[in-house]
Amino acid sequence: MWNTLNHLILNVALTFFFVLISLFFFKRFQFRNTLDSWLKKNLLVLILATGAGYWVIHNAITYEGFRFDLSITLIVIAFIYGGISSGFITTLVFASLQTFVFHSNHAFWLVGTYLIVSIVVLYLQNEAPDRFISFPIIFSIALILCLPFVQHVRPNDVTAMTVFLVGNGCAGLLLHSILHQVRWHFHQVRMHRRLALTDMLTGLDNRRHLEETVQRYKSQQMNFSIMIIDVDHFKQVNDTYGHDRGDHILRQISALLTSYCPPSCVLGRFGGEEFMMLLPEYSLPETRRIAEQICIASATRTYELSATEPLQVTLSIGVSRQTHQPSESYNFLQTIQQADAALYQAKKSGRNCVFHHDPLR
């Protein structure tokens, strides 16, 4: 009995170790695009599922001649915490290990049980009412679906069924409680980091996030365009109508800019009444065209100081393009200097216009 318990604890500890490794790598990976992200994630899941599956199946727990492992627990954990692709990869890896590596005498029953559990877990996650979507309920249903397999291996053996349910049940609930806390912690860290990188007035990215984005573009050797947008005569708005109404105008301008910001680009409040848009892999003509659309849209719309007080607001925009220079050292202010100079020319030329930096000028 004690030997079985020690073996169970060791299996749970090693299983949790594999899960923690996956969390660590996912946090450290830098993904450049969606395909890159998908390939790396699933390759990592494949490697870790193979390692965890081999350990769990090879070190199956034995109680009075009845051998069972925690593979069902890992499959449910993979679906709940890793998503559909992680769950199905884990299922296929375990089925392959049982069939081709360990040559299980009950491979047909095991593979069938794996597939049934996977389909039912996936259905419950996506189709069941929210009040039923909890790990204990889904996991309990998954364990019940495994009882025909236990009955096949040990006919009419109540002890074997009890040991299987208790062993996997305790392991699953323990792993779930730990992983739930880990996921909650990561969520809190992401939330606080997001707050630290968000401008509280407009909800856009703040200057710190803009600087980090530019640094990332530089480190990834990307070409990108910069757009600096300044609200014309905004000091007069604050002096005439007050800072509260001035803030209300800034929020409306941020909404306008967001509607013109392409999905792959980054928009933030640079400071005061200045905004910045970063456009990776956009040419100078493409960036200038977007800037001109923004300029026209702002000049032709009416902003609301209040329900009965309209206001016309124009924008001046400076545009530049950054190309990768292998020997160039990173400096944020130097990087945006050309766009800032173009913005100065736009303001000097009467405002409500777009200027771009011309390297030949």
To 10 degrees, the CA torsion angle through 355, 275, 207, 288?
Answer: -40
Both 7 and 122 in one domain: the answer is yes
Q: Residue 318 corresponds to which tokens in the numbers above?
A: 């400076």
Rounded distance between C-alpha atoms, residue 52 and residue 15, angstroms: 6
Among 281, 256, 276, residue whose Cα is nearest residue 266: 276
Following DSSP, what letter does each residue of 161-221 receive, concatenated? HHHHHHHHHHHHHHHHHHHHHHHHHHHHHHHHHHHHTB-TTTSSB-HHHHHHHHHHHHHTT
Q: Is position 153 within any domain? A: yes
Both 51 and 143 in one domain: the answer is yes
Both 158 and 126 in one domain: the answer is yes
CATH code of the domain covering residue 253: 3.30.70.270
Residues counted in the chain = 361
What pLDDT score was predicted for residue 32? 47
**For residue 330, what are the domain limits?**
207-356
Rounded distance between C-alpha atoms, residue 251 and residue 313, angstroms: 13
Q: Is position 201 within any domain? A: no
State the pLDDT confidence band at 28, using cuts at 50, 70 and 90: very low
| C-beta of residue 356 within 8 angstroms of C-beta of residue 319 | yes
Number of domains forming the structure of the chain? 2
Rounded distance between C-alpha atoms, residue 71 and residue 150, angstroms: 14
**DSSP for residue 82:** I
Both 192 and 221 in one domain: the answer is no
pLDDT above 90 covers what percent of the chain?
A: 54
Both 226 and 105 in one domain: the answer is no
Amino acid at 48: L
Q: Is position 202 within any domain? A: no
Both 242 and 346 in one domain: the answer is yes
**DSSP for residue 322:** E
Higher pLDDT, 309 or 4: 309
Residue 324's φ and ψ, nearest 5 degrees, are: -70, 130
Last residue of a domain, one of 172, 196, 220: 196
Region 23-27 average pLDDT: 55
Q: By three-state DSSP, how is residue 325 classified?
A: coil
What pLDDT score was predicted for residue 31? 45
| C-beta of residue 298 within 8 angstroms of C-beta of residue 253 | yes
Q: Is position 177 within any domain? A: yes
Q: Is position 94 within any domain? A: yes
State the pLDDT confidence band at 41, using cuts at 50, 70 and 90: confident
Which neighbouring-strand residues pair with 275? Answer: 229, 269
Rounded distance between C-alpha atoms, residue 343 and residue 356, angstroms: 8
Q: Residue 165 corresponds to which tokens in the numbers above?
A: 């349910």
**Considering only 22-31, 210-219, 243-252, which range has the smallest mean pLDDT?**
22-31
| C-beta of residue 285 within 8 angstroms of C-beta of residue 320 | no
Rounded distance between C-alpha atoms, residue 56 and residue 12, angstroms: 9
Condensed to tens digits (0 to 9), the pLDDT of residues 99-157 reads: 888 777 888 899 999 999 999 999 998 877 766 678 899 999 999 999 999 999 999 99
Last residue of a domain, one of 170, 196, 222: 196
C-alpha distances in Å from residue 297, one per residue of 268, 303, 351: 19, 11, 15
| C-beta of residue 276 within 8 angstroms of C-beta of residue 228 | yes
State the pLDDT confidence band at 24, using cuts at 50, 70 and 90: low
| C-beta of residue 347 within 8 angstroms of C-beta of residue 308 | no
Q: By three-state DSSP, how is residue 331 classified?
A: coil
Q: By three-state DSSP, how is residue 92 classified?
A: helix
Rounded distance between C-alpha atoms, residue 320 and residue 336, angstroms: 8
Both 121 and 231 in one domain: the answer is no
Both 78 and 159 in one domain: the answer is yes
Among 55, 46, 130, 134, residue whose Cα is nearest residue 91: 46
Both 105 and 180 in one domain: the answer is yes
Q: Is position 361 within any domain? A: no
Whether residue 327 has pLDDT greater than 90: no
**Considering only 234-238, 271-275, 283-287, 323-327, which range has the smallest mean pLDDT?**
323-327
Rounded to a whole number of angstroms, the distance between the first and last alpha carbons of the chain is: 84
Which neighbouring-strand residues pair with 304? Answer: 310
Both 308 and 327 in one domain: the answer is yes
Both 170 and 313 in one domain: the answer is no
Both 187 and 265 in one domain: the answer is no
Whether residue 30 has pLDDT greater than 60: no
Residue with tokens 């390297």: 359
